[in-house]
């Protein structure tokens, strides 16, 4: 866990979210699923003027009327209360009633017309012998309002089929202008500036747009658990707020830099200035963007003015980048570590060392005989698996533990900042792509074994964040490593299938089957990892 003393910003407690419920009323139309949306009042305290799905806060009374709600097995307790609240809100705001008579007949327009929307719904349902059709309400998603906002809600997004024959009529107080709209059309109108929506609505519609029929949506939700759960985070991109869900690349970095959700971190990629991530961690990105390097190679400085700094992966021999590294450290670089010998990581080590008056040692593992010509590297001292590099001074200590992780390269290593639970992963774990494993220096079995080693390190050292050599900081470190291994094994299964389908085939034959989800322009690169998989498959006899 990151030491609170190393946070860049004073933390404040986010507002507690209030329980609420939202319902997406759906119908089948000629061109696919349509969803009912309304426009909120321009004076509303939350999302004024936005197009939304009907819903609102959960009342205490919603939990006291389960006896009047028909429910499915397992749909009890909180889930039933949420469904009751959604049914009540859809009636109060739009005059839509999800209910049925004792004989099972659904409520019809005459039943709705007989009810007074100014009176409590439950009281009227009891009078008329109506039961709330909670069994027809399913959980689609679970959203918790972003931590930076002054009003927050903990809200399931529920789905239900629009009752046959009923028509929505807005209350003209909280909701206005009910409209049926295809998710794709709502998104297009929002993009054009004519249909304002907030982030959770947009992301929900993006996923809903993948369904062709209402029944497909309801079947997907039949398990009773949300298809996704999210509490978004926001940063600054191109001068404006930009919000992200947990699976998106910037989320981990925002979690690290601003745990309490304040919008203070700039996400724009640039090479001119160091990017503070913690008081004791800075990132400088080399000016070498490309298909293989993404925004560029990340160099990291760990430490502070009192302890001095350790530089990780100085990158290519780019004089301006190296001078920026040197200046960001105030010239006080005590050690230089290269995670491996590839030409976008290690060539800058000697020139950076020359800039420093103390001539800090260059540390790492020497390149193996299998390394390509451009990846030759000889450190001043070879690091030992498990050894610790210590920066100490001014009452602070920063300890980096070495983990030898062959696979991407034979001499690849990672570093764990023990006091803060950070993993500097070099090219072994990236954000936004999978690393290339290029034989003979790359080895797929060694790569997978090294992932297991990093998983164990996460448990031992409480690692929560991964600082990759390319891309933003990754959060949920153990899960990220597990997903990466699963992805590699899924790819391996496709390769085995390709080899079995074309037993006399070549790499060219197999790549078009095993990497059919990768742009063809990337196949020459993919073939290197394909070869590494093939060597592993053949060595283990997996294709027989």
Give the separation between CA 166 and CA 169, rounded to whole angstroms.
10
3-class DSSP string for 379-391: CCEECCCCCEEEE
Helix, strand, coil % over all residues of the chain, rounded to 5: 30, 25, 45
Residue 125: pLDDT above 80? yes
- The burial class, CB within 10 Å (0-12 / 13-18 / 19+), for 170 is middle
What is the model's pLDDT at position 42?
83
Name the residue among 88, 86, 99 with its Cα closest to residue 156. 86
CA distances to 246, 299, 340, 470 from 344, in Å: 29, 10, 10, 11
Residue 174: pLDDT above 80? no
- The burial class, CB within 10 Å (0-12 / 13-18 / 19+), for 13 is exposed
Per DSSP, the three-state class of 209 is coil
Give the separation between CA 348 and CA 410, rounded to whole angstroms.
20
Q: What is the pLDDT of residues 399-447, one digit of tens each?
A: 999 999 999 999 999 999 999 999 999 999 999 889 999 999 999 999 9
Confidence of residue 540 (pLDDT cuts 50, 70, 90): very high
Name the residue among 163, 4, 183 with its Cα closest to residue 95. 163
Please check whether residue 484 is in contact with residue 451, taking contact to mean a CB–CB distance below 8 angstroms. yes
Please check whether residue 400 is in contact with residue 389, taking contact to mean a CB–CB distance below 8 angstroms. yes
Q: Where are the beta strands (DSSP E) in 145-215?
A: 153-161, 175-181
Average pLDDT of the residues of the chain = 95
CA distances to 88, 124, 166, 229 from 98, in Å: 9, 14, 10, 25
Q: What is the pLDDT of residues 340-387, one digit of tens each?
A: 999 999 999 999 999 998 899 999 999 999 999 999 999 999 999 999
Per DSSP, the three-state class of 140 is strand
Could you give the strand order of the β-sheet that contains 275-278, starting from the edge strand earlier in sequence? 275-278, 281-285, 298-304, 308-312, 333-337, 362-364, 381-382
HSE (side-chain half, CA atoms, 13 Å) at 149:
20
Give the separation between CA 58 and CA 460, rounded to whole angstroms.
42
Please check whether residue 274 is in contact with residue 284, taking contact to mean a CB–CB distance below 8 angstroms. yes
Per DSSP, the three-state class of 494 is helix
Q: What is the pLDDT of residues 519-539, one digit of tens each?
A: 999 999 999 999 999 999 999
Name the residue among 103, 90, 99 with its Cα closest to residue 125. 99
Please check whether residue 347 is in contact with residue 374, taking contact to mean a CB–CB distance below 8 angstroms. no
Buried b (16+ CB within 10 A) or exposed e, 275-313: bebbebbbbbbbbbeeebbbbbbbbbbbbbeebbbbbbb
Q: What is the pLDDT of residues 280-333, one digit of tens each?
A: 999 999 999 998 899 999 999 999 999 999 999 999 999 999 999 999 999 999
pTM of the model: 0.93
3-class DSSP string for 215-263: HHHHHHCCCCCCCEEECCEEEEECCEEEEECCCCCCHHHHHHHCCCCCC
Confidence of residue 543 (pLDDT cuts 50, 70, 90): confident
């Amino acid at each position: 866990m990151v030491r609170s003393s190393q946070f860049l910003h004073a933390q404040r407690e986010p507002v507690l979210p209030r329980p609420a419920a939202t319902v997406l009323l759906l119908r089948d139309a000629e061109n696919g699923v349509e969803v009912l949306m309304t426009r909120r009042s321009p004076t509303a305290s939350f999302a004024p003027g936005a197009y939304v799905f009907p819903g609102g806060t959960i009342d205490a009374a919603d939990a006291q009327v389960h006896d009047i709600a028909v429910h499915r097995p397992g749909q009890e307790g909180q889930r039933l209360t949420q469904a009751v609240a959604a049914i009540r809100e859809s009636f109060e705001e739009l005059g839509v009633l999800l209910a049925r008579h004792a004989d099972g007949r659904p409520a019809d327009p005459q039943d709705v017309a007989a009810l007074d929307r100014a009176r409590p719904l439950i009281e009227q349902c009891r009078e008329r012998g109506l039961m709330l059709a909670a069994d027809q309400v399913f959980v689609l998603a679970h959203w918790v309002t972003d931590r930076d906002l002054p009003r927050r809600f903990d809200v399931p997004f529920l789905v239900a089929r629009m009752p046959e024959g009923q028509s929505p009529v807005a209350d003209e107080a909280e909701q206005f202008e009910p409209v049926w709209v295809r998710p794709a059309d709502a998104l297009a109108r929002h993009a054009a500036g004519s249909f304002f929506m907030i982030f959770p609505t947009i992301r929900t519609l993006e996923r809903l747009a993948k369904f062709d029929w209402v029944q497909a949506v309801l079947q997907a939700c039949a398990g009773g658990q949300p298809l996704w759960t999210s509490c978004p985070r926001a940063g600054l991109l191109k001068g404006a707020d930009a919000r992200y869900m947990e699976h998106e690349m910037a989320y981990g970095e925002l979690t690290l830099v601003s745990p309490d959700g304040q919008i203070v971190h700039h996400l724009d990629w640039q090479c001119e200035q160091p990017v503070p991530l913690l008081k004791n961690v800075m990132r400088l990105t080399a000016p070498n963007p490309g298909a293989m390097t993404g925004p560029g190679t990340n160099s990291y400085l760990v430490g502070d003015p009192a302890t001095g700094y350790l530089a990780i992966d100085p990158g290519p021999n780019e004089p301006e980048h190296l001078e920026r590294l040197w200046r960001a450290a105030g010239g006080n670089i005590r050690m230089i570590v290269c995670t491996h010998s590839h030409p976008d990581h290690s060539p800058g080590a000697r020139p950076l060392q020359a800039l420093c008056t103390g001539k800090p040692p260059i540390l790492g593992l020497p390149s193996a005989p299998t390394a390509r010509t451009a990846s030759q590297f000889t450190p001043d001292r070879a690091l030992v698996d498990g050894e610790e590099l210590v920066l100490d001074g001014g009452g602070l200590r920063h300890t980096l533990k070495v983990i030898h992780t062959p696979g991407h390269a034979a001499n690849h290593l990672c570093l764990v900042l023990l006091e803060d639970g950070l993993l500097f992963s070099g090219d072994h774990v990236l954000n936004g792509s999978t690393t290339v494993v290029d034989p003979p220096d790359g080895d797929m079995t060694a790569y997978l074994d090294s992932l297991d080693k990093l998983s164990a390190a996460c448990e031992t050292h409480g690692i929560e964040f991964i600082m990759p050599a390319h891309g933003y900081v990754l959060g949920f470190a153990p899960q990220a490593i597990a997903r990466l291994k699963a992805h590699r094994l899924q790819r391996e299964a496709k390769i085995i299938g390709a080899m079995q389908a074309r037993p006399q085939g070549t790499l060219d034959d197999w790549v078009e089957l095993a990497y059919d989800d990768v742009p063809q322009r990337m196949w020459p690169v993919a073939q290197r990892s394909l070869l590494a998989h093939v060597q592993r498959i053949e060595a283990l006899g997996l294709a027989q």
